[in-house]
Chain A
Amino acid sequence: MPSLKDFRNRIASVKSTRKITSAMKMVAASKLRRAQQQAEASQPYASRMSGMLGRLVANLDMGSGAPLLMAGTGKDDVQLLVVMTSDRGLCGGFNGSIIRLARLKIRELVTAGKTVKLVCVGRKGAAALKRDHGDKIVKTFENLGRKHLSFADAALVSDYILDALEQGEFDVCTLVYNQFKSVIAQIPSAYQLIPLSVDAGAGKAEEKAPADETAKALYEFEPSEEGILAELLPRNLSVQVFRALLDSAAGEQAARMTAMDNATRNAGDMISNLTLKYNRARQAYITKELIEIISGAEAV
């Protein structure tokens, strides 16, 4: 049976924890708003770029000599997984679900006889994957966009991927990140970056609807279709990475907000529970003393 003092200490400590979690929740909420705004603001660039890509691809007959980024190396033996997690913890299942998906992917690929290489973005993912897949990690990015996520941060990652591709270090590159669906739902998803077949197809389909066929045929390209494509594709890769980073950043804050909200609520429950127990114990103590006094008086 804990003493009254123990109860008091316990209640005080839970109270101060609650203060911390509720402050974190509020901080996360304001950061989330900023992250969402940023994600929204970056939308026009991404959509215009995919529109351009679609138009280019529609004009280009993709027979021979398609760029490496588009066609890949034609093999799928070496798989590069880019795993995006957060740098900080205390955000609920945010990192856990991504790491679980990454582990699943790794296991799938390894059983299929592929070589897997890992690029970790975010300290949490690197720390968790180091334990069983440390030998596969080829590069870790930490503290990306700590204050403000900029396009340059995304370029850092995409430049690394491009370099590795040019040196033939992998055949297929897949991005594993938390897609920001809503404040309460972040969906861990895998998105294939290289070869970029899905995106081009989508762009084409999109383009077909509004633009009529003749307008498409009249498009002029400078320097040439292939020339622009060669410049556009690496840029597009950066844009995809940037988009994923923004999604992940917004998701992290959203997950933290929900987690801290839960923690605050739990702390509140715990305090009322403890207060109840404390009062009961105090009451019992008083009763006990009274009985002692009364029985002492009776004995005289």
Chain B
Amino acid sequence: MAEKLTDKTFQFELVSPERILASEEASMVIVPGGEGEFGVLADHAPMLSSLRPGVVSVTSPAGEVKRIFVSGGFVDVTGALCSVLAEEAVNLNDLDRASLEEKLKDLEDDIGFAKDDHAKASHIQKNIDIVRAKLAALAQAA
């Protein structure tokens, strides 16, 4: 991200079911699409994609990069607007490795107990995947 590809900016939005988390100008956004990460610049072709748990990085026009972890969702890209719909979004800096590892351990214990209950097990598995993705995102950032 050292060199700027384009000077044009576009509007980036991060929306959770409870409120709008962010709405700002961006020169580039990288999102973890369902079929691989992709970058969005201004005047990107209109596109709808699902997201897997991962990191959205937003480059502001000034060149600052903000990394936000999302637990999955959707992204809607039009030329002038990139809106990410995510159920959970946390700033990567707010994640804490130690507490996440503890949570992962707890969840792994839970899944052992919930073997017979299929619905519960799959729910826990989903949570485990999210925590793992958070840890992976942290490891990558470090």
Contacts and interface: CB of A to CB of B under 8 A. Distances in A.
B134 to A, nearest CB: 17
Contact of B15 (A45, A222, A242): A45
A220 B34 CA distance: 13
B90 interface: no
Contacts of B116: none
Contacts of A2: none
B12 to A, nearest CB: 13
Contacts of A41: 18-20
Interface in A205-229: 215, 218-223, 227-228
Nearest to A220: B47
Contact of B45 (A55, A154, A220, A227): A220
Q: Is the interface of A mostly helix, strand, loop or mixed?
A: helix
A49 B50 CA distance: 12
A42 interface: yes
Interface residues of B, number: 23
A48 interface: yes
B50 A48 contact: no
Contact of A220 (B17, B48, B123): B48
Contacts of B83: 48
Contact of B34 (A163, A215, A219, A227): A227
Contacts of A223: 34-35, 49-50
Given A49-B85, A163-B119, A228-B74, A44 B20 contact: yes
Given A163-B119, A223-B35, A42 B17 contact: yes
A151 interface: yes
Interface string B7-33: 000000001111110000000000001
Interface residues of A, number: 32
Nearest to B79: A215
Contacts of B19: 41-42, 44
A122 to B, nearest CB: 20
B110 interface: no
B87 interface: yes
Nearest to A218: B46
A222 B31 CA distance: 12
Interface in A46-74: 46, 48-49, 51-52, 55-56
**Interface centre among A38, A163, A228, A242, by most B CB within 10 Å?**
A228
A42 B16 CA distance: 8
A232 interface: yes
B49 A222 contact: yes
Interface string A221-250: 111000110011001001100100000000
A52 B76 contact: yes
A176 to B, nearest CB: 22
B35 A56 contact: no
A49 B48 CA distance: 11
Interface string B31-70: 0011100000000011111100000000000000000000
A150 interface: yes
B74 A232 contact: yes
B125 to A, nearest CB: 14
Closest 5 CB pairs of A and B: A41-B19, A222-B49, A151-B17, A220-B47, A45-B17
15 contacts: A42-B18, A48-B83, A51-B76, A52-B74, A52-B85, A163-B119, A218-B46, A219-B46, A220-B47, A222-B48, A227-B34, A227-B50, A228-B49, A231-B34, A235-B87
